[in-house]
Structure 1
Amino acid sequence: MPRFFLVSLCLAITSPINVLGQNIQTTAPAAASNQSVTSEALEGLGRAVEHYIGKDYAVGAELLVLHKGQTLYHESFGYSDREDKRRWQNNTLCNIRSMTKPITSAAAQILIDRNLLHLDDPVAKYLKSFDNDESKSITVRQVLTHRSGLPLTNLTKPDQYSSLTDQVAAGGGKGPEFEPGSKFWYSDLGTDVVGALVEKVSGEPLHDFVKRELLDPLGMSSSLYGIDADDKRLSQAASLYLKVPTGWLPFWKGDSKPFYPFAWGSQTIYSTTTDYAKFLRMMMNGGRVGDRQLLSAAAVSRMLAPVSRAKMMQSDTLAPTEFRNLEVYYGQMMVTYRVIGKEKEKPVVIGHSGSDGTCAW
């Protein structure tokens, strides 16, 4: 199996490039000529991103490619803030959006392994806001696999609710849009429910649990939940832009009010290429970090096991892939690419992407 790994933190890039990957660690760059990927291929990858920047398809981008534990390529392009003329630097902090989802799932898996949370229990066992005729049949497994019937979101603005509990309670009160378990339907709200379950079962805020149980042991010291206005690291985060007919419209800057009012399960984490690589390395190593079993092998298997063919957001259309002979599946908050007809075998690619243009495979 190829042992490449790519982490891309790209600001508003429209077509992220995927590279096969597994078994990574952060090390000094290695000579590509000694690997099964050539320097010419890596330089071509960089030229492709430069093309995006030159055509104004993106404001800034960063690419990190690792192979067999060595960094083959790590370059940055464009600006992290165009108005301030702040060039994108390697390991610029980014809002990774839905790349938060696998980390939220890993937090839930820890509680499952501790026998505090159970996959086939109704969510209503833990969250009373789901104990009603509309939502009482939704299970923990279903919210972990985007099969709960809940909509993409119940938000009209980020600060609509005062807490994660209130945010998911509104969704539980309204109920699913189709029969729970009947099909895959990508749902931020469902993942926020997972985050609320972690809070309820652990008895502490989601961001505190994740920091202690995952971010700190993984050495993800640059990663944070972007909810604290006093955290000076946010001021250096890549600015957010919206694409409009006249170009890129500044939407959020790191020295503005935090984009998120509190930790969500579906998003909220800000991270760097190097930090997120540590999380996926742990997944590739069966949950191990050095000599410590941080996440059980069973938990990793649950997250990676194919449950549904992945579909486009708010659609029943299957997610496309440019990989020949591969299909895209979704497990418990992890995307996996598998050989057609061999979906029960080990995945060829694992990872997730985020709606601001970030991706890691």
Structure 2
Amino acid sequence: MKRRFLYILTVTTFISTAIGQENSKKVIQETAKARLDSTLQSFVKNGEVAGASALIFEKGKEVYFNAFGYADMENKVPMKRNTLVQIYSMTKPITGTALMTLYDKDKFQLDDPLEKYAPEFANMKVYKGVDSNGEMILEDLERPITIRDITRHTAGFSTRDDVPGFSEALKKADPFNWENTLPQMAEKLGNLPLWFQPEAKWEYGPSVDVQAFLVERISGQSYQEYVREHVLDPLKMTDTRYIVPKEDRSRMSSAYRKTEIGELNQSPNDEAHAFNYKKWPLTPGGWGLTSTLDDYMRFARMLVNDGKLDGEQILEPQTVELMSTNHLDENITDRSWLPSKGQVGFGIDFAVRIQPPASVEENNGVVGEFFWDGAASTLFWVDPVNELTAVFFVQIFPYNGSLHKRFRDAVYGPIVLPKNSQ
């Protein structure tokens, strides 16, 4: 993948090519590692998380790993390299990758109408509000939903629970019940209205679950079988799965919740891991997988290496570039909470950094990086400029983006703004 970037952030990283002396390089690396250790330790020491771990590769080589605190605080089980965690929305880029393997086989085009392959989503209605009786007012689609829409969250699907009429209808239909198969989910979702017209706004939601259904529809295989055969197994991601067998459950990290008064509460494992301890009909594309640092790093390394790892070509190089390119038109100004991620647009199941940080309070990063995170505050990113990939694991609710800010600063060093912006 050949890219040119107009701006490369000047930061202290593990990058050593500009360091003339081997001793100087070693000092820089040791300083960065000490900074990372201190940062991860502080998360645990301050009681923000029970355990934290991170793995970083640069130019194909491991340059950092460490783990601190506990996976299971009550039973004093330490956070380890092979600890299994629930990655929640970090499932989404894996689903997008599975879908785009079909794109590489010319099975669809991004601007194809979704209804071409899934008539369940033909002639949908769009929510406009409610009348005096509380009944939904609906209008026709201005244009069909496209596959591009479901890869960039502009399709109009939503799981909001605060929209009069709409939220009640969504709850009644219950498309995301774990007892539903993906086709049943699609049928129920297609019988509901969209919250907005396609491309009117960016709204995070169930679009990636629709992607998983589309993989099934186009490939003729179950999503779980397809993603295993075409992504996970070729990458040797054997710990990345929906169902964790009994013999591996001792490696599962517990889930934790920070209370309003700052206490760290450990959730009962059977409750927190209910989805992953039983085979359910639903195999969501947007969440549900568990993984380890090393497994997810193999996925990230495939992406930074133009879709290939250890001789396995998962995606074509131009497809990785397409996925990591911003697909949000500047006219899409309503972007919910996406701006909180920094100066980003959105590609195919990744946020894509399009500008350097505008302030020291923003998330650190390099123009051209692409990334995503999960509800339990996990994070990964791919930095093609520096050939760097990072995976960060914690298991804390509610989502804590400040952990990501501090971890990124530990990787790259403090944000250095251009003089004319200060």
1:284 pairs with one of 304, 312, 326: 304
Residue identity opposite 2:353 in structure 1: Y
**RMSD of aligned alpha carbons:** 3.3
Residue identity opposite 2:350 in structure 1: M
Residue identity opposite 1:139 in structure 2: T
Return closer, same or farther for 1:37/1:263 CA change in 2, 3 Å cut-off.
Answer: farther
Partner deviation per Cα, 1:155-197 (whole Å, 9 max, x = no partner): 779745421222233222212111101222222x111000110
Give the alignment of 1:21-40 within 5 angstroms. 34=25, 37-40=28-31
Q: Structure 1 unaligned runs (5+)? A: 1-17, 23-30, 322-326
Return closer, same or farther for 1:93/1:157 CA change in 2, 3 Å cut-off.
Answer: farther
Bigger CA radius of gyration: 2
Q: Establish whether residue 58 from structure 1 lines up as the match of residue 49 from structure 2.
A: yes
Moved more, 305-314 or 169-178: 305-314
Partner deviation per Cα, 1:261-281 (whole Å, 9 max, x = no partner): 331110111111111111111
Q: Establish whether residue 108 from structure 1 lines up as the match of residue 95 from structure 2.
A: no
- Give the structure 2 partner of residue 183 of structure 1: 201
Quote how far apart the aligned CAs of 1:309 are.
8.0
Alpha-carbon separation, structure 2, partners of 1:330 and 1:359: 16
Moved more, 149-158 or 210-219: 149-158
Return closer, same or farther for 1:80/1:128 CA change in 2, 3 Å cut-off.
Answer: same
- Give the structure 1 partner of residue 156 of structure 2: 149
TM-score (structure 1 length as normaliser): 0.79
- Give the structure 2 partner of residue 315 of structure 1: 336
Q: Establish whether residue 215 from structure 1 lines up as the match of residue 222 from structure 2.
A: no
Q: Establish whether residue 139 from structure 1 lines up as the match of residue 146 from structure 2.
A: yes
1:331 pairs with one of 347, 351, 355: 347
Report the 3-state secondary structure (helix = DSSP H, G, I; strand = E; otherwise coil) of the residue aligned with 1:124.
Answer: helix
Percent identical pairs in the alignment equals 27
Return closer, same or farther for 1:296/1:33 CA change in 2, 3 Å cut-off.
Answer: same
Return closer, same or farther for 1:55/1:316 CA change in 2, 3 Å cut-off.
Answer: closer
Quote how far apart the aligned CAs of 1:292 are.
3.7
- Give the structure 2 partner of residue 163 of structure 1: 181
Quote how far apart the aligned CAs of 1:21 are.
9.6
Report the 3-state secondary structure (helix = DSSP H, G, I; strand = E; otherwise coil) of the residue aligned with 1:225.
Answer: coil
Q: Structure 2 unaligned runs (5+)? A: 1-10, 16-21, 127-140, 161-169, 358-365, 382-422
Quote how far apart the aligned CAs of 1:132 are.
3.0
Return closer, same or farther for 1:61/1:347 CA change in 2, 3 Å cut-off.
Answer: same
1:243 pairs with one of 248, 258, 267: 258
Contact 1:104-1:266 at 8 Å conserved across structures: yes
- Give the structure 2 partner of residue 348 of structure 1: 368
- Give the structure 2 partner of residue 267 of structure 1: 287
Contact 1:21-1:349 at 8 Å conserved across structures: no
- Give the structure 2 partner of residue 299 of structure 1: 319
Return closer, same or farther for 1:36/1:300 CA change in 2, 3 Å cut-off.
Answer: farther
Contact 2:175-2:189 at 8 Å conserved across structures: no
Q: Establish whether residue 80 from structure 1 lines up as the match of residue 71 from structure 2.
A: yes
- Give the structure 2 partner of residue 232 of structure 1: 247
Partner deviation per Cα, 1:210-259 (whole Å, 9 max, x = no partner): 11101111121221123x6x453244211112222352333352695334
Return closer, same or farther for 1:237/1:352 CA change in 2, 3 Å cut-off.
Answer: same
Moved more, 328-337 or 113-122: 113-122
Q: Establish whether residue 123 from structure 1 lines up as the match of residue 117 from structure 2.
A: no
Return closer, same or farther for 1:224/1:133 CA change in 2, 3 Å cut-off.
Answer: closer
TM-score (structure 2 length as normaliser): 0.69
Contact 1:132-1:173 at 8 Å conserved across structures: no
Contact 2:13-2:32 at 8 Å conserved across structures: no
Alpha-carbon separation, structure 1, partners of 2:14 and 2:116: 38
Return closer, same or farther for 1:191/1:157 CA change in 2, 3 Å cut-off.
Answer: closer
Alpha-carbon separation, structure 2, partners of 1:129 and 1:175: 12
Partner deviation per Cα, 1:263-315 (whole Å, 9 max, x = no partner): 11101111111111111111111112233422112221221111128999982
Residue identity opposite 2:340 in structure 1: A
Aligned residues: 324
Alpha-carbon separation, structure 2, partners of 1:170 and 1:331: 27
Return closer, same or farther for 1:207/1:231 CA change in 2, 3 Å cut-off.
Answer: farther
Contact 2:303-2:320 at 8 Å conserved across structures: yes
